[in-house]
């Protein structure tokens, strides 16, 4: 597990946590052991301004769970050296009143097992026959979410619960929304790897009867480094958006962004995160720009 750049160990909320001093706001790290995956990782819990204030002691907060937690808050822990700037963005949008105060939980990947845990189906390209992604929905709903609810004041119900990620982290978020309808009400899909396992999740999406109330779906036009593959990635996302629309996810519930010249990188996901967070948790959903290119 990657260590944060500057930390201080203190007890909080009845549990031993590591408080990160190099981020905006209050970020707390919990070392978390999973019985389902049989491994250990950090959960990175970012708390909104005023969480510990006396007047808010009875208040409960929406929660957004994001995969690849190492990449969200600090350059020093991101495996590309670039973070999503989740702490800075959330702090700013909360203080500006764009979104209500919410808790953001970064779920670390486990490095060598990342691909296996984020792929629910076998794949020949890349060769991945012993995948574990089918366990992820139970890992989230039966382990991570109860743990967070035990230690923090989270509001319950799909309207107060979001899930997201990028690349394969978005793929497993999509899979969770498909197989656990009603668990989450806010879905963030950044540059989802829909090509994986011969596009099985795209095909399975056609049979989903209940989708989250809001979905932010984004792709760049320069994701794959080659013109034909770039177009294929855009086509896959456009097809998924069409499936969602036919299932009744209209423009008030779906924000589709096709980002001209954007690549497959944390810097792009950081740049789009303010819009994503505002759409998913804002007091009023932003109007989607269907198939917009910018």
Q: pLDDT digits over 86-97, tens only?
A: 999 999 999 999
Residue 129: per-residue pLDDT:
65
Distance linking the first and last C-alpha atoms of the chain: 37
Residue 284: per-residue pLDDT:
57
Q: How many domains, in total, are found in the chain?
A: 1
Q: Residue 10: is its pLDDT beyond 50?
A: no
Looking up tokens 């702090």, which residue turns up?
Answer: 91
Looking up tokens 């919990």, which residue turns up?
Answer: 30
Q: Residue 293: is its pLDDT beyond 70?
A: no
Mean pLDDT for the chain? 91
- pLDDT tens string 223-246: 999 999 999 999 999 999 999 999
Could you tell me if residue 14 is inside a domain? Answer: yes
Could you tell me if residue 204 is inside a domain? Answer: yes
- pLDDT tens string 70-119: 999 999 999 999 999 999 999 999 999 999 999 999 999 999 999 999 99
- What's the pLDDT band for 2 if we cut at 50, 70, 90? very low
Could you tell me if residue 223 is inside a domain? Answer: yes
- What average pLDDT does this structure show over 131-152? 97
Could you tell me if residue 158 is inside a domain? Answer: yes
Domain span holding position 141: 7-293
Q: Residue 12: is its pLDDT beyond 80?
A: no
Could you tell me if residue 1 is inside a domain? Answer: no
DSSP state of 54: G
Q: Residue 266: is its pLDDT beyond 90?
A: yes
More confident residue, 285 or 193: 193
Report d(CA 274, CA 83) in Å as an integer. 14
Q: What is the CATH number of the domain that holds 162?
A: 3.40.50.1820
At residue 2, what are phi and psi to the nearest 5 degrees? Answer: -70, 140
Question: Which residue, 214, 293, 229, 215, is CA-closest to 264?
Answer: 229
Report d(CA 293, CA 260) in Å as an integer. 6
DSSP state of 61: B
Looking up tokens 């010249």, which residue turns up?
Answer: 261
Q: Is the dihedral of CA 137, 26, 279, 85 positive or negative?
A: negative
Q: Residue 11: is its pLDDT beyond 60?
A: no
- What's the pLDDT band for 15 if we cut at 50, 70, 90? low
- pLDDT tens string 150-179: 999 999 999 999 999 999 999 999 999 999
- Provide the 10 A C-beta neighbour count for residue 72: 30
Token code pair at residue 240: 């998924």
Strand 15-20 with 39-47, pairing: unpaired
- What's the pLDDT band for 17 if we cut at 50, 70, 90? confident
Token code pair at residue 70: 């190492």
Residue 283: per-residue pLDDT:
76
DSSP state of 139: I
pTM of the model: 0.92
More confident residue, 72 or 127: 72
Q: Residue 149: is its pLDDT beyond 90?
A: yes
- Helix and strand element counts for the chain (H, E): 9, 13
Beta strands in the chain (DSSP E): 7-12, 15-20, 26-34, 39-47, 63-67, 103-107, 123-124, 127-128, 161-166, 186-190, 214-220, 254-259, 292-293
Please tell me the chain's helix, strand, coil percentages from 3-state DSSP, rounded to the nearest 5: 35, 25, 40
DSSP state of 55: G
Could you tell me if residue 208 is inside a domain? Answer: yes
Could you tell me if residue 147 is inside a domain? Answer: yes
Residue 16: per-residue pLDDT:
76
Q: Is the dihedral of CA 277, 281, 286, 290 positive or negative?
A: positive
Could you tell me if residue 2 is inside a domain? Answer: no
């Amino acid at each position: 597990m990657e260590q944060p750049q500057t930390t201080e160990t203190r007890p909080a909320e009845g549990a031993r946590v590591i408080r990160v001093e190099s981020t905006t706001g209050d970020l707390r790290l919990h070392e978390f052991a999973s019985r389902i995956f049989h491994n250990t990782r950090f959960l990175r819990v970012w708390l909104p301004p005023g969480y510990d204030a006396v007047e808010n002691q009875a208040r409960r907060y929406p929660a957004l769970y994001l995969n690849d937690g190492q990449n969200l808050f600090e350059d020093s822990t991101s495996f590309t050296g670039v973070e999503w700037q989740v702490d800075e963005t959330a702090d700013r949008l909360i203080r500006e009143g764009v979104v209500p105060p919410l808790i953001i939980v970064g779920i670390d990947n486990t490095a060598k097992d990342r691909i296996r845990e984020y792929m629910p189906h076998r794949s020949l390209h890349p060769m991945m026959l012993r995948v574990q992604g089918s366990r992820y929905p139970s890992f989230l709903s039966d382990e991570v979410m109860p743990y967070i609810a035990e230690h923090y004041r989270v509001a319950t119900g799909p309207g107060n619960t979001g899930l997201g990620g990028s690349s394969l982290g978005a793929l497993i978020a999509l899979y969770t929304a498909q197989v656990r309808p009603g668990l989450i009400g806010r879905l963030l899909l950044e540059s989802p790897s829909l090509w994986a396992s011969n596009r099985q999740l795209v095909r399975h999406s056609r049979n989903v009867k209940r989708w989250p109330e809001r979905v932010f779906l984004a792709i760049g036009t320069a994701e794959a480094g080659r013109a034909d593959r770039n177009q294929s990635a855009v086509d896959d996302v456009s097809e998924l958006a069409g499936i969602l629309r036919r299932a009744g996810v209209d423009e008030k519930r779906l924000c589709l962004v096709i980002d001209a010249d954007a690549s497959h990188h944390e810097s792009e996901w950081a740049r789009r995160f303010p819009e994503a967070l505002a759409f998913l948790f804002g007091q009023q959903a932003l109007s989607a720009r269907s198939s917009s290119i910018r």
